[in-house]
Chains A and B, each alone.
Chain A
Amino acid sequence: DVKVTQSSRYLVKRTGEKVFLECVQDMDHENMFWYRQDPGLGLRLIYFSYDVKMKEKGDIPEGYSVSREKKERFSLILESASTNQTSMYLCASSDREGHLIYGYTFGSGTRLTVV
C-alpha cells in the first residue's frame, strides 16, 4: 500500500512565523497535492505538483508556496503565518494515466493552529 506521511500531526505557530509542512510518499507517484480542510468549506486545493521541481497553483495559493526537490517529498510553506491559516492541512499523492489522475492517497493530516 502507498503510504503518505505528514511529518506533524499537530503544530502551533505564532503569527508571522515561517512554517514548513512536510509530506513524503513511498510509491514513486508523480503527482502530489496540498489541500486545506475547513468546516463548511470542505477541501480546497492549495498547490499541486506533477513532477520534480514542477508546481501549479490550485484554488487558494495566496500566502503559500511549495517545494518539490525530490519525487517523494512535497513541502508546503507558509511564508508568514496568519490566524486565517489555522486549518487542517492534507497532503495527497496519486498515480496518473496521461494527464488524468488515477485516485488519491492521503496522509493523516496536520492540524495547524496559528496564534
Chain B
Amino acid sequence: KQEVTQIPAALSVPEGENLVLNCSFTDSAIYNLQWFRQDPGKGLTSLLLIQSSQREQTSGRLNASLDKSSGRSTLYIAASQPGDSATYLCAGFSGGYQKVTFGTGTKLQVIP
C-alpha cells in the first residue's frame, strides 16, 4: 500500500526565506503528484500537479519537482511571505480511484 510522508510536520521561518517542503512516497508506480495548501477551516487549494513525465512544474514563486527513482517530491517556495502560512499537503496518484494517498501535511508559519 502506498505511503506518503511529509517531514517536517511543522516549520517556522522568517519572511523572505527560501524554503523546501518534502514529500516522500513508497510506490514508484506513481503517475501524478499534486501539491495543495489548506488554510485553517477551509478546503484544499491545488497549487501544482506534476505528471511523472514532466518532473517539474512552476507557478510564480512555487516550484515542484518529482523524482520517482528516489520516491520524493519537493515544493520550493521562494521569498516566503506571511500569506504563505498554511498547511501544505501532497497527494500521490498511483492507480485507480482508490489509489490516491495524501500526506499528513507540513504546517508552515512565515514570521513577519
Contacts and interface: CB of A to CB of B under 8 A. Distances in A.
Contacts, number: 59
B31 A100 contact: yes
Q: Do most interface residues of chain A lie in helix, strand or loop, or is the interface mixed? A: strand
A90 B44 contact: yes
Contacts of A103: 32, 34, 46, 49, 93
A100 B98 CA distance: 10
B3 to A, nearest CB: 12
What size tier do the contact residues of chain B reach?
20 to 34
Nearest to A43: B102
Given A43-B102, A104-B91, A109-B41, A50 B97 contact: yes
A38 to B, nearest CB: 12
Ordered nearest first, which 10 A-B pairs have the shortest CB separation?
A109-B43, A106-B44, A103-B49, A108-B43, A106-B43, A43-B102, A99-B96, A103-B34, A107-B43, A48-B97
Interface of B: 31-32, 34, 36, 41-46, 49, 89, 91, 93, 95-98, 100, 102-105
Interface of A: 6, 31, 42-43, 45, 48, 50, 56, 58-59, 88, 90, 92, 99-109, 111
